[in-house]
Structure 1
Amino acid sequence: MPLPRLKLTPEASHGPLDGAWWPRCDALELELPALVGMLNPDAGAVTGVTVDAASWPDAPGTVMAPHQVIAVAETLLATEEHAITVDCGSLGRWELLVIPPDEPPGTATRLLRAAADPENPLSAPRLLALTENGVDGEAAWESEGGPAPVGT
């Protein structure tokens, strides 16, 4: 697989998200190894992931990645819709917005930037919902009372 389409918060996140991931398809067993390869500072550090069951209805219980088997847990919590949590044990974890694979490139690019903004206060479902309702991804959290993004 090609490198994942991923944007991470440059420093410690102050919001509910640490960035965003835009997979190319909805086959987690194909997409997850590349994502883990980009996030994983040490082979085997990723201990598991939690995914939104509605977004990944056919998610397997485990996924093979180089040098490791990754446990996959599913959640039905509304607060975790359109998100993936990557657990790296004692190294911490990443909470990422999962942008639907069929999202138009312009919208996906704006969502990648908005989710990786360290001052973004919005959760994955809220950020995606605002965008689906016509609010630009970068301006979505501004509409929720946040400051205007710099450079737009």
Structure 2
Amino acid sequence: MPLPRLSVTPDVSHGPLDGAWWPRCDALELELPALVGSLDPAVGTVIRVTVDTASWPDAPQTVLAPGHVIEVSLTGLAAEAHAITLDCGTVGRWELLVIPPDEPAGAASRLLTAAADPENPLSAPRILALAENGLDGEATWESEGGPGLR
């Protein structure tokens, strides 16, 4: 598998997101092993992920990753839409925006950068809504404390 398209917040996140991930397809069992394999070993072993049913309608209950099995939990909560939570047991949890696989490269690049900004105050559903509605970041994101999306 090619390296995942991933951007994470340097050091410690100060917002609701710790970065963003742009998978190539919606097959979690194909995408997740590359994602967890690309994370810094200091993050720890990802033992469980939580994904939303809208983004991953056919997600399996477990995914095989190099050397271990990852439990997959599904959620239907709107507040967790377009996000993946990586649970590393006692080491911590990371929340990533999941950029839809069919997102144009330019928009995905802006979302990868914006979600990894340590000052980002926006949740995954909110940041995607701003981008999808074509709202000017000057009038939206900056008013919420961060750089523009456009």
The answer as to whether partners of 1:107 and 1:136 remain within 8 angstroms in 2 is: no
Q: Is residue 147 of structure 2 the alignment partner of residue 111 of structure 1? A: no
Give the unaligned 5+ runs of structure 1: none
Shift of the 148–56 alpha-carbon distance from structure 1 to 2, 3 Å rule, reads closer
Q: How many residues are matched? A: 149
- TM-score normalised by L of structure 1: 0.91
Are 1:22 and 1:98, in contact at CA under 8 Å, matched by a contact in 2?
Answer: yes
Alignment partner, residue 127 of structure 1 = 127
1:99 is matched with which residue? 99
One-letter code of the match for 2:59?
A: A
Task: State the AA in 2 paired with 1:50.
Answer: T
Letter in 1 for 2:133: N
Change (3 A) 1:97 1:43: closer
Letter in 1 for 2:73: A
Divergent runs of 4+, >4 A: 136-140
2-structure distance, mates of 1:52, 1:12: 24
Where 2:36 maps in the other structure, the secondary structure is helix
User: What letter is aligned with 2:30?
Assistant: L
How far apart, CA to CA, are the structure 1 residues paired with 2:43 and 2:24? 24
Residue type at the aligned position of 1:123: S
Quick one: distance in 1 between partners of 2:76 and 2:144?
A: 28
Q: 1:11 to 1:69 in 2, by over 3 A?
A: same
Over the aligned positions, Cα root-mean-square deviation in angstroms equals: 2.1
**Residue ranges of structure 2 left out of the alignment (5+ in a row):** none
Task: Compute the displacement of 1:141 (Å).
Answer: 2.1
Kept in 1, the 8 Å contact 2:20–2:99? The answer is: yes
Percent identity of the aligned residues?
74
CA displacement at 1:80 relative to structure 2? 0.3
1:110, 1:137 within 8 Å by CA — same for their partners in 2? Answer: no
Shift of 1:46: 1.0
CA–CA distance in structure 2, aligned partners of residues 113 and 138 of structure 1: 16
Distance 1:37 1:135, change over 3 A: same
Match of 1:145 in 2: 144
The residue number in structure 2 matching 1:36 is: 36
